[in-house]
Amino acid sequence: MTLEAIREAAAGLVGVAERTPLLPVDALRQAAGVPVFLKLENRQPTGAFKLRGAWTAVRRLPAAARRRGVITYSSGNHGQAVAYAARRLGLRAVIVMPETAPPTKVAGVKKWGGEVVFAGTTSEDRRAKAEELIAREGLQVVPPFDHPDVIAGQGTVGLEIVEDLPDVAHVAVPVGGGGLIAGITTALAALRPATRVTAVEPDGAAALHAALRTGRVVRLDRTHSIADGLLPVAVGSLTFAHVRYRVDAVTVTDAAIADATVWLHRAMGLLVEPSGAATTAALRAGAFRPTGPTVLVVSGGNVDPAAVEALAARTSG
């Protein structure tokens, strides 16, 4: 992955993805002792950062590869993004989703014209079903994270952070399969190499933490968390290669994620899904200590307000 590839992706996203703002948060600044900003990817047209990578990957497909349509396997946000991209380009899109997918995310895929197929509960279940459909129908796969075009698209988040906050010292990124942190890390390494990057994972889905500890991609037996977008049983081999020597990893409890989700909604007026609240949770819980201007990537906001209120009832109970 190169900075040039990320810059090309940024040019291709003009008029498609939102150039999301950095929101300064006084309460977090007081807690951390340094300026803290939220990178609001929940403001994307599809509600999450995934649009950047999905659009880039679909846009770069040769015309012949697009002909029968595209397919992906996704817990929800990448699926919505692929469906959105396909609709804009006049393509068929098939999205393989877990049987446990939140109704909000299933509705989001269908909103953009995606055909939903359910398969199991794990990322491997979804991938196996997608491969079956690819073999049968000749669809072109758009992987959720472990692909250079997807990583390049996600890397545009890093470009924007440096452009808007040139003295950024620390960036915290939620991690599922690792495409977002791989792209951001690549951009920062080229533009501001002294910036520290911290991966944030749920306690019950710490696949990157395990990979960093052993020096190789590790497949977890199972994952579990309220952060449904952060549940792959392993990070990608390509994404791991990009971050292995460049990031540190911390974990955060579901209780802390739930508390941060509710706090962002009630105190900040931001509708953020638990996966997107993981970085805020980590800072509030003291999982890492920033030493300079810090950006917390808020990766998505595809959650029903009623679900946030249900979390509030659980945390208060």
User: Rounded mean pLDDT of 56-76?
Assistant: 91
The residue written with tokens 């469906």 in the block is 83
User: CATH code at 126?
Assistant: 3.40.50.1100
Phi-psi region of 98 (alpha: psi -120 to 50; beta: other; left: phi over 0): beta
User: Rounded mean pLDDT of 75-98?
Assistant: 94
How many helices and strands (H and E) does the chain possess? 14, 10
CB burial string 227-260: b at 16+ within 10 A, e below: bbbbbbbbbbebbbebbbebbebbbbbbebbbbb
**Is residue 102 located within the same domain as residue 214?**
no
Q: What is the pLDDT of residues 166-224, one digit of tens each?
A: 999 999 999 999 999 999 999 999 999 999 999 999 999 999 999 999 999 999 999 99
Domain with 290, as residue range(s), is 3-48+147-316
The CA–CA distances, whole Å, from 193 to 64, 74, 171, 190, 251 equal 39, 32, 12, 6, 24
**Is residue 240 located within the same domain as residue 257?**
yes
pLDDT value at residue 102: 86
pLDDT band at 58 (very low <50, low <70, confident <90, very high): very high
Q: What is the pLDDT of residues 246-278, one digit of tens each?
A: 999 999 999 999 999 999 999 999 999 999 999
- For residue 78, pLDDT over 70 is answered with yes
**Is residue 116 located within the same domain as residue 173?**
no
**Is residue 271 located within the same domain as residue 163?**
yes
**Is residue 41 located within the same domain as residue 178?**
yes
**Is residue 186 located within the same domain as residue 202?**
yes
- For residue 97, pLDDT over 80 is answered with yes
The CA–CA distances, whole Å, from 16 to 13, 54, 56 equal 5, 11, 10
pLDDT value at residue 110: 95
Helix, strand, coil tally for the chain in percent (to 5): 50, 15, 35
- Structure token pair of residue 9: 């992706």
pLDDT averaged over every residue in the chain: 95
**Is residue 169 located within the same domain as residue 241?**
yes
Residue, of 306 and 34, whose pLDDT is higher: 34
Continuous segment of H or E residues that includes residue 2: none
What is the C-alpha separation between 70 and 142, in angstroms, rounded? 7
**Is residue 205 located within the same domain as residue 75?**
no
Among the three residues 123, 141, 159, which one is the final residue of a domain in this structure? 141
pLDDT value at residue 50: 97
Among the three residues 125, 141, 157, which one is the final residue of a domain in this structure? 141
What is the C-alpha separation between 287 and 295, in angstroms, rounded? 15
- For residue 125, pLDDT over 90 is answered with no
pLDDT band at 101 (very low <50, low <70, confident <90, very high): confident
Phi-psi region of 216 (alpha: psi -120 to 50; beta: other; left: phi over 0): beta
DSSP annotation string for 243-307? HTTTEEEEEE-HHHHHHHHHHHHHHH-----HHHHHHHHHHHTTSS---SSEEEEE-B----HHH
Beta carbons within 8 Å of 77's beta carbon, 6+ residues apart:
46, 47, 48, 49, 50, 105, 229, 275, 299, 300, 302
pLDDT value at residue 317: 52
Among the three residues 106, 141, 176, which one is the final residue of a domain in this structure? 141
pLDDT value at residue 153: 98
**Is residue 285 located within the same domain as residue 152?**
yes
Q: Find, among 3, 84, 24, 25, the residue nearest to 49 by Cα.
A: 84
**Is residue 170 located within the same domain as residue 89?**
no
How many folded domains does the chain comprise?
2
pLDDT value at residue 276: 98
Q: How big is the chain, counted in residues?
A: 317
User: Rounded mean pLDDT of 35-52?
Assistant: 97
What's the one-letter identity of residue 120? G
pLDDT band at 316 (very low <50, low <70, confident <90, very high): low
Q: What is the pLDDT of residues 139-161, one digit of tens each?
A: 999 999 999 999 999 999 999 99
**Is residue 204 located within the same domain as residue 84?**
no
The CA–CA distances, whole Å, from 178 to 112, 154, 237, 243, 316 equal 25, 10, 9, 9, 32
**Is residue 115 located within the same domain as residue 217?**
no
Under a CB-based contact definition with an 8 Å cutoff, are residues 9 and 162 in contact?
Answer: no
Residue, of 63 and 316, whose pLDDT is higher: 63
pTM of the model: 0.94
Q: Find, among 81, 94, 275, 69, the residue nearest to 175 by Cα.
A: 275
Residue 80 CB neighbour total at 10 angstroms: 32
User: Rounded mean pLDDT of 97-117?
Assistant: 92
